[in-house]
Amino acid sequence: MGTYERKSSSFGKTKPRYKKPDAVKLLEQQVLEYDRAKHPSIPPHYIAPTSFRDDTARGLIKCILALMKVSGHEAKEISAPGRRVDRRKSFIDVIGISRRIGTVQWESGVNPKNKADILATIDGWPIEVKVDMNIDSSLSPGIDYQIPFDQAGTPRILVYSFTKFHEWYLKVFGEGRP
């Protein structure tokens, strides 16, 4: 059997098939156990498992937030929702009826460069996590400590892989953790 590749929508390029890392599989199991413990009155086989992926920035953020939740830490995503732009015009037509034409659109919010995507508090230590999927894994480590500290001195971590983040988390905050 050969390697399965799927066609990408951009100019016929092929992308390799996504293979879920062991750290993500472990996270799915931990979240399932967490949900079963949270809802003891529901039979365990009725609780649906949660699926995670770390091949996109959004998926990686969800994985990190779920790890923080099952570990008992507080974490929140910093989002920039954008702003509402009203491009409608009101006028009165020849009959005297007031009409409104145009659209209401949302301009996307932009997360400034080097601003964290996740703020987490782990054992009382504030940590900022910046997710960047455009890093070549062969050129740099999974976690980069070179991002400067912010004004308050909070450490920032640059992450491109959940496996690397999970290894860093276990190394820094102890092996006995989930």
Contacts 24+ apart (CB under 8 A), 163-172: 163/21, 163/22, 163/23, 163/24, 163/54, 165/63, 165/64, 165/67, 165/129, 166/23, 166/26, 166/27, 166/67, 167/23, 167/142, 168/142, 168/143, 169/67, 169/122
Q: Which one has a higher pLDDT value, 125 or 38?
A: 38
pLDDT at 22: 95
In tens, the pLDDT along 35-48 reads 999 999 999 999 99
Domain limits of the chain?
A: 19-173
In tens, the pLDDT along 97-116 reads 999 999 999 887 666 666 78
Check whether 155 has a pLDDT greater than 70: yes
Residue with the two structure tokens 């020849």: 94
pLDDT at 10: 60
Check whether 4 has a pLDDT greater than 60: no
- Determine what percent of the chain is predicted with pLDDT higher than 70: 77
Report residue 142's pLDDT band, with 50, 70 and 90 as the boundaries: very low
Average the pLDDT over each of 55-59, 87-91, 108-112, 159-163 and give the range with the smallest value. 108-112
Check whether 86 has a pLDDT greater than 80: yes
Check whether 122 has a pLDDT greater than 50: yes
Check whether 71 has a pLDDT greater than 80: yes
Got the DSSP string for the chain? Answer: ----EEE-TTTT-EEEPP---HHHHHHHHHHHHHHHHH-TTS-GGGSPPPP---SSHHHHHHHHHHHHHHTT-EEEE-----EEEE--EEEE-TTS-EEEES-EEEEPP-PPTT--SEEEEETTEEEEEEE-TTS-TTTS-SEE--SPP-TT---EEEES-HHHHHHHHHHHH-TT--
Report residue 12's pLDDT band, with 50, 70 and 90 as the boundaries: low
Report residue 83's pLDDT band, with 50, 70 and 90 as the boundaries: confident
**What is each CA distance from 38 to 32, 34, 70, 141, in whole angstroms?**
10, 6, 11, 36
Nearest to 16 by CA among 29, 2, 28, 5: 5
CB 78 within 8 A of CB 156: no
pLDDT at 6: 55
